[in-house]
Structure 1
Protein backbone atom coordinates (compact mmCIF):
# COMPACT_ATOMS: atom_id res chain seq x y z
CA UNK A 1 0.00 0.00 0.00
CA UNK A 2 2.80 2.44 0.91
CA UNK A 3 4.73 1.67 -2.28
CA UNK A 4 1.59 2.38 -4.30
CA UNK A 5 0.70 5.72 -2.68
CA UNK A 6 3.84 7.25 -1.16
CA UNK A 7 5.80 9.61 -3.46
CA UNK A 8 8.64 7.34 -4.67
CA UNK A 9 11.37 9.96 -4.22
CA UNK A 10 10.42 10.25 -0.53
CA UNK A 11 9.82 6.56 0.16
CA UNK A 12 13.33 5.75 1.38
CA UNK A 13 12.55 3.48 4.34
CA UNK A 14 10.01 0.65 4.55
CA UNK A 15 6.60 0.99 6.19
CA UNK A 16 7.06 1.41 9.94
CA UNK A 17 5.64 2.67 13.22
CA UNK A 18 7.71 5.48 14.70
CA UNK A 19 8.21 5.04 18.44
CA UNK A 20 10.47 8.11 18.80
CA UNK A 21 11.40 10.83 16.35
CA UNK A 22 14.78 11.70 17.83
CA UNK A 23 17.11 10.14 20.35
CA UNK A 24 20.66 11.39 20.80
CA UNK A 25 23.34 9.35 18.99
CA UNK A 26 25.21 8.79 22.27
CA UNK A 27 22.23 6.69 23.46
CA UNK A 28 22.69 4.14 20.65
CA UNK A 29 24.34 1.41 22.75
CA UNK A 30 21.77 1.66 25.54
CA UNK A 31 18.94 1.80 23.01
CA UNK A 32 20.18 -1.38 21.29
CA UNK A 33 20.40 -3.12 24.67
CA UNK A 34 16.87 -2.07 25.63
CA UNK A 35 15.41 -3.03 22.23
CA UNK A 36 17.04 -6.46 22.51
CA UNK A 37 15.60 -6.93 25.99
CA UNK A 38 12.11 -5.99 24.76
CA UNK A 39 12.16 -8.43 21.83
CA UNK A 40 14.42 -11.41 22.60
CA UNK A 41 12.41 -14.61 23.03
CA UNK A 42 9.19 -12.60 23.21
CA UNK A 43 6.22 -13.13 20.89
CA UNK A 44 5.21 -10.21 18.66
CA UNK A 45 2.74 -7.94 20.43
CA UNK A 46 -0.86 -8.39 19.28
CA UNK A 47 -1.82 -5.48 17.05
CA UNK A 48 -4.48 -4.40 14.60
CA UNK A 49 -5.01 -1.86 11.88
CA UNK A 50 -7.85 -0.09 13.64
CA UNK A 51 -8.72 2.82 11.38
CA UNK A 52 -7.55 5.56 9.06
CA UNK A 53 -5.92 8.85 10.02
CA UNK A 54 -5.92 11.98 7.89
CA UNK A 55 -2.53 13.66 8.03
CA UNK A 56 -3.49 16.75 6.04
CA UNK A 57 -1.06 15.98 3.23
CA UNK A 58 -1.27 12.22 3.63
CA UNK A 59 -3.04 9.18 5.05
CA UNK A 60 -2.04 6.61 7.66
CA UNK A 61 -3.38 3.44 9.19
CA UNK A 62 -4.09 3.82 12.92
CA UNK A 63 -2.53 0.94 14.85
CA UNK A 64 -3.96 -0.42 18.09
CA UNK A 65 -1.57 -2.42 20.25
CA UNK A 66 -1.65 -2.04 24.04
CA UNK A 67 1.38 -4.35 24.31
CA UNK A 68 3.43 -2.21 21.90
CA UNK A 69 2.25 0.90 23.76
CA UNK A 70 3.60 -0.65 26.97
CA UNK A 71 6.99 -1.25 25.31
CA UNK A 72 7.05 2.33 24.10
CA UNK A 73 6.13 3.59 27.58
CA UNK A 74 8.99 1.63 29.17
CA UNK A 75 11.45 3.06 26.64
CA UNK A 76 10.05 6.57 27.14
CA UNK A 77 10.49 6.23 30.90
CA UNK A 78 14.09 5.08 30.43
CA UNK A 79 14.95 7.99 28.15
CA UNK A 80 12.58 10.61 29.65
CA UNK A 81 15.19 13.31 30.35
CA UNK A 82 16.50 13.05 26.78
CA UNK A 83 13.18 13.04 24.87
CA UNK A 84 12.34 15.91 22.55
CA UNK A 85 9.11 17.83 23.16
CA UNK A 86 7.57 15.99 20.19
CA UNK A 87 8.36 12.61 21.77
CA UNK A 88 7.14 13.72 25.20
CA UNK A 89 3.83 14.95 23.75
CA UNK A 90 2.26 11.52 23.48
CA UNK A 91 2.21 8.74 20.95
CA UNK A 92 -0.21 8.18 18.10
CA UNK A 93 0.77 4.80 16.61
CA UNK A 94 0.28 4.73 12.86
CA UNK A 95 1.81 3.54 9.62
CA UNK A 96 1.97 6.29 7.03
CA UNK A 97 0.88 5.08 3.60
CA UNK A 98 0.87 8.47 1.87
CA UNK A 99 2.56 11.76 2.72
CA UNK A 100 3.69 15.04 1.18
CA UNK A 101 0.91 15.16 -1.42
CA UNK A 102 -1.75 17.79 -2.09
CA UNK A 103 -4.52 17.75 0.54
CA UNK A 104 -7.13 16.98 -2.12
CA UNK A 105 -5.15 13.89 -3.18
CA UNK A 106 -4.81 12.74 0.44
CA UNK A 107 -8.53 13.25 1.08
CA UNK A 108 -9.40 11.24 -2.05
CA UNK A 109 -7.25 8.31 -0.93
CA UNK A 110 -8.68 8.34 2.59
CA UNK A 111 -12.22 8.35 1.21
CA UNK A 112 -11.41 5.50 -1.20
CA UNK A 113 -9.82 3.42 1.56
CA UNK A 114 -12.70 4.15 3.95
CA UNK A 115 -15.26 2.67 1.56
CA UNK A 116 -14.32 -0.91 2.37
CA UNK A 117 -12.09 -0.53 5.41
CA UNK A 118 -12.34 -3.28 8.02
CA UNK A 119 -10.09 -3.55 11.08
CA UNK A 120 -7.64 -6.41 10.72
CA UNK A 121 -4.65 -7.88 12.50
CA UNK A 122 -1.14 -6.76 11.68
CA UNK A 123 2.13 -8.43 12.68
CA UNK A 124 4.77 -6.29 14.36
CA UNK A 125 7.85 -8.26 13.42
CA UNK A 126 10.40 -6.35 15.46
CA UNK A 127 11.90 -3.07 16.57
CA UNK A 128 14.59 -1.18 14.69
CA UNK A 129 16.71 1.89 15.11
CA UNK A 130 17.57 4.23 12.23
CA UNK A 131 19.96 7.16 12.11
CA UNK A 132 18.97 10.16 9.99
CA UNK A 133 22.06 11.57 8.27
CA UNK A 134 20.72 14.85 6.83
CA UNK A 135 19.24 13.07 3.83
CA UNK A 136 20.03 9.37 3.84
CA UNK A 137 18.76 7.06 6.56
CA UNK A 138 21.19 4.53 8.00
CA UNK A 139 19.91 1.42 9.79
CA UNK A 140 21.62 0.98 13.17
CA UNK A 141 20.03 -2.22 14.46
CA UNK A 142 17.09 -4.61 14.10
CA UNK A 143 15.57 -6.61 16.93
CA UNK A 144 13.05 -9.24 15.87
CA UNK A 145 10.39 -10.61 18.19
CA UNK A 146 10.47 -14.31 18.97
Structure 2
Protein backbone atom coordinates (compact mmCIF):
# COMPACT_ATOMS: atom_id res chain seq x y z
CA UNK A 1 0.00 0.00 0.00
CA UNK A 2 1.47 3.39 -0.96
CA UNK A 3 1.84 5.87 1.84
CA UNK A 4 0.78 9.48 1.40
CA UNK A 5 3.66 11.70 2.45
CA UNK A 6 3.06 13.39 5.79
CA UNK A 7 4.80 15.99 7.87
CA UNK A 8 6.02 15.26 11.38
CA UNK A 9 7.30 12.15 13.08
CA UNK A 10 7.01 8.62 11.75
CA UNK A 11 7.13 5.58 14.07
CA UNK A 12 7.77 2.07 12.76
CA UNK A 13 6.46 -0.96 14.62
CA UNK A 14 6.62 -4.71 14.14
CA UNK A 15 3.14 -6.24 13.98
CA UNK A 16 2.04 -9.33 15.91
CA UNK A 17 -0.40 -12.02 14.93
CA UNK A 18 -4.03 -11.46 16.03
CA UNK A 19 -3.99 -13.87 19.00
CA UNK A 20 -0.72 -12.44 20.33
CA UNK A 21 -2.00 -8.89 19.82
CA UNK A 22 -5.19 -9.69 21.76
CA UNK A 23 -3.19 -11.25 24.62
CA UNK A 24 -0.93 -8.22 25.10
CA UNK A 25 -3.78 -5.74 24.56
CA UNK A 26 -5.73 -7.44 27.37
CA UNK A 27 -2.74 -7.05 29.71
CA UNK A 28 -2.47 -3.36 28.83
CA UNK A 29 -6.20 -2.84 29.39
CA UNK A 30 -5.94 -4.50 32.79
CA UNK A 31 -2.71 -2.90 34.04
CA UNK A 32 -2.05 0.36 32.16
CA UNK A 33 -3.60 3.52 33.65
CA UNK A 34 -6.78 4.13 31.61
CA UNK A 35 -6.05 7.85 31.08
CA UNK A 36 -2.74 7.00 29.40
CA UNK A 37 -3.67 3.80 27.54
CA UNK A 38 -4.44 5.19 24.10
CA UNK A 39 -2.30 2.71 22.16
CA UNK A 40 -2.58 -1.00 21.51
CA UNK A 41 0.31 -3.20 22.55
CA UNK A 42 3.20 -2.71 20.13
CA UNK A 43 6.83 -3.49 19.32
CA UNK A 44 8.59 -0.27 18.39
CA UNK A 45 11.47 -0.60 15.93
CA UNK A 46 12.06 3.11 15.22
CA UNK A 47 10.80 6.01 17.31
CA UNK A 48 11.35 9.05 15.10
CA UNK A 49 11.82 9.10 11.35
CA UNK A 50 10.77 11.92 8.99
CA UNK A 51 7.23 11.21 7.80
CA UNK A 52 7.87 13.10 4.56
CA UNK A 53 10.83 10.96 3.41
CA UNK A 54 9.59 9.17 0.27
CA UNK A 55 12.22 6.43 0.34
CA UNK A 56 11.03 5.03 3.68
CA UNK A 57 7.82 3.39 2.35
CA UNK A 58 9.75 1.85 -0.57
CA UNK A 59 12.43 0.55 1.81
CA UNK A 60 9.82 -0.93 4.16
CA UNK A 61 8.14 -2.67 1.22
CA UNK A 62 11.50 -4.28 0.38
CA UNK A 63 12.15 -5.32 4.00
CA UNK A 64 8.64 -6.83 4.24
CA UNK A 65 9.41 -9.13 1.30
CA UNK A 66 10.28 -11.96 3.68
CA UNK A 67 8.78 -14.68 5.83
CA UNK A 68 7.26 -13.75 9.21
CA UNK A 69 9.54 -13.73 12.24
CA UNK A 70 9.03 -15.82 15.34
CA UNK A 71 10.03 -14.02 18.54
CA UNK A 72 10.78 -15.58 21.90
CA UNK A 73 9.05 -13.90 24.83
CA UNK A 74 11.88 -14.54 27.24
CA UNK A 75 10.90 -12.84 30.52
CA UNK A 76 8.96 -10.15 32.34
CA UNK A 77 11.15 -7.10 32.85
CA UNK A 78 10.84 -4.30 35.41
CA UNK A 79 12.15 -0.91 34.26
CA UNK A 80 11.47 1.48 37.15
CA UNK A 81 7.83 2.45 36.62
CA UNK A 82 7.34 0.20 33.60
CA UNK A 83 6.65 -3.52 33.20
CA UNK A 84 7.34 -5.13 29.84
CA UNK A 85 7.81 -8.51 28.24
CA UNK A 86 11.30 -8.94 26.79
CA UNK A 87 11.53 -10.33 23.25
CA UNK A 88 14.47 -12.19 21.73
CA UNK A 89 15.34 -13.12 18.16
CA UNK A 90 18.69 -13.23 16.42
CA UNK A 91 16.85 -12.86 13.13
CA UNK A 92 15.10 -9.68 14.33
CA UNK A 93 18.41 -8.29 15.59
CA UNK A 94 19.98 -8.82 12.16
CA UNK A 95 16.94 -7.36 10.36
CA UNK A 96 16.94 -4.29 12.61
CA UNK A 97 20.64 -3.71 11.94
CA UNK A 98 19.95 -3.83 8.19
CA UNK A 99 17.08 -1.38 8.64
CA UNK A 100 19.33 0.93 10.68
CA UNK A 101 21.78 1.04 7.76
CA UNK A 102 18.97 1.86 5.33
CA UNK A 103 17.53 4.60 7.58
CA UNK A 104 20.90 5.87 8.87
CA UNK A 105 20.62 9.46 7.53
CA UNK A 106 17.50 10.08 9.65
CA UNK A 107 18.15 8.13 12.85
CA UNK A 108 18.00 9.89 16.19
CA UNK A 109 20.43 8.71 18.88
CA UNK A 110 17.80 6.38 20.43
CA UNK A 111 17.24 4.62 17.09
CA UNK A 112 20.99 4.23 16.48
CA UNK A 113 21.27 1.94 19.53
CA UNK A 114 20.98 -1.85 19.39
CA UNK A 115 17.34 -2.93 19.50
CA UNK A 116 15.99 -4.11 22.86
CA UNK A 117 12.59 -5.37 21.73
CA UNK A 118 9.83 -5.48 24.29
CA UNK A 119 6.08 -5.09 24.75
CA UNK A 120 5.07 -2.70 27.53
CA UNK A 121 2.03 -3.77 29.54
CA UNK A 122 2.24 -1.17 32.31
CA UNK A 123 3.78 2.31 32.47
CA UNK A 124 3.13 5.71 34.05
CA UNK A 125 2.56 4.20 37.51
CA UNK A 126 4.54 4.35 40.74
CA UNK A 127 7.65 2.20 41.12
CA UNK A 128 5.84 0.31 43.90
CA UNK A 129 2.86 -0.53 41.68
CA UNK A 130 5.15 -1.61 38.84
CA UNK A 131 7.14 -3.83 41.23
CA UNK A 132 3.90 -5.48 42.41
CA UNK A 133 2.80 -6.27 38.85
CA UNK A 134 6.27 -7.52 37.95
CA UNK A 135 6.20 -9.94 40.88
CA UNK A 136 2.66 -11.08 40.00
CA UNK A 137 3.42 -11.72 36.32
CA UNK A 138 6.81 -13.31 37.06
CA UNK A 139 5.27 -15.95 39.36
CA UNK A 140 3.41 -17.63 36.51
CA UNK A 141 5.64 -16.66 33.59
CA UNK A 142 6.87 -19.36 31.27
CA UNK A 143 8.72 -18.46 28.04
CA UNK A 144 6.66 -18.64 24.85
CA UNK A 145 6.83 -17.46 21.24
CA UNK A 146 4.83 -14.98 19.20
CA UNK A 147 4.47 -14.57 15.46
CA UNK A 148 4.99 -11.35 13.55
CA UNK A 149 3.03 -10.34 10.49
CA UNK A 150 4.76 -7.24 9.10
CA UNK A 151 5.50 -3.59 9.78
CA UNK A 152 3.25 -0.62 10.44
CA UNK A 153 3.99 3.08 10.16
CA UNK A 154 2.39 5.57 12.49
CA UNK A 155 2.21 9.33 12.77
CA UNK A 156 2.94 10.61 16.26
CA UNK A 157 0.17 12.95 17.49
CA UNK A 158 1.72 14.20 20.77
CA UNK A 159 0.39 11.14 22.61
CA UNK A 160 -1.89 9.00 20.43
CA UNK A 161 -0.62 7.56 17.15
CA UNK A 162 -2.42 7.49 13.79
CA UNK A 163 -1.93 4.41 11.59
CA UNK A 164 -0.53 5.42 8.21
CA UNK A 165 0.29 2.15 6.46
CA UNK A 166 0.90 -1.58 6.81
CA UNK A 167 3.65 -3.63 5.16
CA UNK A 168 2.72 -7.31 5.52
CA UNK A 169 5.30 -10.08 5.40
CA UNK A 170 4.96 -12.80 2.78
CA UNK A 171 2.44 -15.51 3.67
CA UNK A 172 3.87 -18.82 4.90
Structure 1 and Structure 2 fold alike (TM over 0.5): yes
SS of residue paired to 1:125: strand
Write the distance in 2 (CA, Å) between the matches of 1:37 and 1:9: 37
Q: 1:112 aligns with which of 130, 136, 139?
A: 136
Tell me the residue number matched to 1:140.
164
- The C-alpha deviation readout for 1:71-121, integer Å capped at 9, x for no partner, is 211111011122111111222100001110111000000011111111101
- The C-alpha deviation readout for 1:41-93, integer Å capped at 9, x for no partner, is x3211211011111211100000122222221111101112211111122210
| TM-score relative to the length of structure 1 | 0.91
Q: Please, what is the CA RMSD of the aligned residues?
A: 1.4
Unaligned runs of 5+ in 2: 1-26
Unaligned runs of 5+ in 1: none
The structure whose residues are more often strand, as a share, is 2
Residue 81 of structure 2 corresponds to residue 57 of structure 1: yes
Tell me the residue number matched to 1:24.
50
Residue correspondence of structure 1 range 7-22 to structure 2 within 5 A: 7-22=33-48
Write the distance in 1 (CA, Å) between the matches of 2:148 and 2:139: 25
Residue 28 of structure 2 corresponds to residue 2 of structure 1: yes
| TM-score relative to the length of structure 2 | 0.78
| 8 A contact 2:39–2:160 mirrored in 1 | no
Moved over 6 A (4+): none
Write the distance in 1 (CA, Å) between the matches of 2:147 and 2:106: 29
Between stretches 45-54 and 99-108, larger displacement belongs to 45-54
SS of residue paired to 1:92: coil
